[in-house]
Amino acid sequence: MLDIKLLRGDLENTAEKLLTRGVKLDKDHFIHLETQRKALQEKTQTLQAERNKKSKQIGQLKSKGENAQVVMQEVSHINAELKSAEEQLKTLQQAIHQFILEIPNIPHDSVPKGKNETDNQEIRRWGTPTTFSFEVKDHVLLGEQLKLLNNDAASKISGARFTVLHAGLARLQRALIQFMLDTHTQQHGYTETYVPYIVNAESLQGTGQLPKFAEDLFQLKAEQGFYLIPTAEVPVTNIVRDSIIAADDLPLRFVAHTPCFRSEAGSYGKDVRGLIRQHQFEKVEMVQIVTAENSYQALEELTAHAEFILQQLQLPYRVMNLCSGDIGFSAAKTYDLEVWLPGQNCYREISSCSNFENFQARRMQARWRNPDNKKPELVHTLNGSGLAVGRCLVAVMENYQTQEGYIQVPEVLKPYMGGMDKIMG
RNA sequence: GGAGAGGUGGCUGAGUGGUCGAAAGCACCGGUCUUGAAAACCGGCGUAGGUUAAUAGCCUACCCAGGGUUCAAAUCCCUGCCUCUCCGCCA
């Protein structure tokens, strides 16, 4: 959520920055709402002040045993007027709040301006695309030939965009998760965290998925308004919702493995083959809660933490600085890591690392106490996949395939595979 | 699922429908004292919004959330959420 002061005080400039995202701010609508709000608020508060004053008078008169009938009559008149003013004001304030909730974050100055993913800026590459002396298979063919990937069963059990993994492949996924969690906790200073996979609407509003992106979520048919998490970002970041954190406790670094559930509404026909885009997938997520002055340094570190996993797995990748038209709703800046997939002959997103500045913090009322002035200030929040496990599985399968159609186990995963060095079905 | 208790400022915790934005303690900040520190003493210390040149003053709202009663609600009533205790059931 943007600071409403940015809209009140610097509407033109704010609208211009949002335009780089391709979002046209309805300035006139906002001005209209604000003008009304201001007038109504002044009216309401004046009436309230009058009512309070006269009610006190009544109390004083009564305590002296005098007749308060006249004043009571006056207050009744005020109340009649006040009631409708209060109701109107409430409606207006809700409208303004809803309006602001649907405005995305302002891109940081270092974000390249552009329309869509073709304008993203490549920052660096690591490794060179794997070359093969034989014809490469994609992960689906590999998995099916080894009888380790059972999409027929998945579509019978659930439907499209689900999968069943067996034996060495299922274990490889578990190995990846363990490796990632161990690396982030032991080498990068994150606290391993286990969280609910079902969250309430407040949490989703806190991180920005609601109200605008409800159709991307699976909602449970329960009275409480429960949703399946689309990413661990939601439960993990909301740990600090409605709290004031002591300066000594910052930065907070959490890492969690969770399944993620996404409806993928509107992506029909896109990535239908294989594990790239599923309704359910595993992800290891890093979340950092930091002070405003540290957040951009934290973004670089967080990105490096995700990169380290790819480096350890010896998977070639590149780092993209997403352009203003391609960054997510809540983010001020995002680096995507794209891993090389031989089966598709291209780089594909495997991690997204973002600084949300105080956009999520304002929605969540997540603050820390600044020792300089003793005042609570909004924290900055960041998160990044470290990594998307399903896609990482794809990358390992395709990059580590052998001529015989087996999958070699990356060196760093061998301890997690009970010493197995080849997955043969 | 049944029975009960409770949700008040950064924390603990008082609060009889009217001068309660809320006692007291802790924490924190400033001061006195001290070579310095501690102790003691004195003072300060919530958040948001409006008005304003103002981080001054004044005004408004906020005692879990949402309704209601009343001239007036932290206080009374209803609903919801959450926490705790006991019993039952259960991985």
Asked if the Cβ of residue A157 lies within 7 A of any atom of strand B, the reply is: no
Asked if the Cβ of residue A46 lies within 7 A of any atom of strand B, the reply is: yes
Q: E strand or H helix at A320, and its extent? A: strand A317-321
Cα separation of A380 and A287, whole Å?
A: 11
Is A285 in contact with A385 (CB distance < 8 Å)? yes
Instruction: Note the pLDDT of residue A328.
Output: 95
Output the tens digit of pLDDT for each of chain A's 425 residues.
898 888 988 889 999 999 999 999 999 999 999 999 989 999 999 999 999 989 988 888 887 778 888 888 888 888 888 888 888 888 888 889 889 999 999 999 999 999 999 999 999 999 999 889 999 999 999 999 999 999 999 999 999 999 999 999 999 999 999 999 999 999 999 999 999 999 999 999 999 999 899 999 999 887 778 899 999 999 999 999 988 888 888 899 999 999 999 998 877 778 888 999 999 999 999 999 999 999 999 999 999 999 999 999 999 999 999 999 999 999 999 999 999 999 999 999 999 999 999 999 999 989 998 887 778 889 999 999 999 999 999 999 999 999 999 999 999 999 999 989 999 98
State the catalytic residue, choosing from A51, A125, A241, A277: A277
Is A254 in contact with A184 (CB distance < 8 Å)? no
Task: Name the nucleotide nearest A63; use CA and C1'.
Answer: B18
Q: CA of A242 vs C1' of B29, distance in Å?
A: 25
Task: Specify burial of residue A223 (Cβ count, 10 A radius: 0-12, 13-18, 19+).
Answer: exposed
Asked if the Cβ of residue A85 lies within 7 A of any atom of strand B, the reply is: no
Known catalytic membership, residue A349: yes
Q: Is A87 helix (H, G, I), strand (E, B) or coil?
A: helix
Cα separation of A333 and A353, whole Å?
A: 8
State the catalytic residue, choosing from A161, A348, A362, A391: A391
Q: How many CB atoms lie within 10 A of CB A282?
A: 20
* Positive/negative CA dihedral, A236, A237, A240, A246: positive
Q: Which residues pair with A337 in a beta bridge?
A: A319, A351
Alpha carbon separation from A1 to A204, A375, A380 (Å, rounded)? 13, 20, 12
Residue A278: closest CA among A162, A414, A416: A162
Quote the tokens at residue A425.
Answer: 């079905």
Residue A113: closest CA among A25, A17, A27, A7: A17
DSSP at A274: T
Instruction: Note the pLDDT of residue A65.
Output: 76
Known catalytic membership, residue A174: no
Known catalytic membership, residue A351: no
Is A1 in contact with A100 (CB distance < 8 Å)? yes
Alpha carbon separation from A293 to A1, A299, A392 (Å, rounded)? 19, 12, 33
State the catalytic residue, choosing from A74, A349, A369, A377: A349
Asked if the Cβ of residue A24 lies within 7 A of any atom of strand B, the reply is: no
Cα separation of A399 and A393, whole Å?
A: 10
Residue A123: closest CA among A132, A136, A110: A110
Helix, strand, coil abundance in chain A, percent, nearest 5: 45, 20, 35
Q: Which nucleotides of B are covered by protein (CB under 7 A)?
A: 10, 18-19, 28-29, 47-51, 59-61, 67, 71-72, 81-82
Q: E strand or H helix at A300, and its extent? A: helix A295-312
Known catalytic membership, residue A241: no
**ipTM over the 0.90 cut-off:** no
pTM, rounded to two decimals: 0.93
**Tokens 């709040």 label which residue?**
A97
Q: Which residue type, as a one-letter code, is found at position A121?
A: Q
Q: Is A3 helix (H, G, I), strand (E, B) or coil?
A: coil
Asked if the Cβ of residue A8 lies within 7 A of any atom of strand B, the reply is: yes
Q: Which residues pair with A338 in a beta bridge?
A: A318, A349
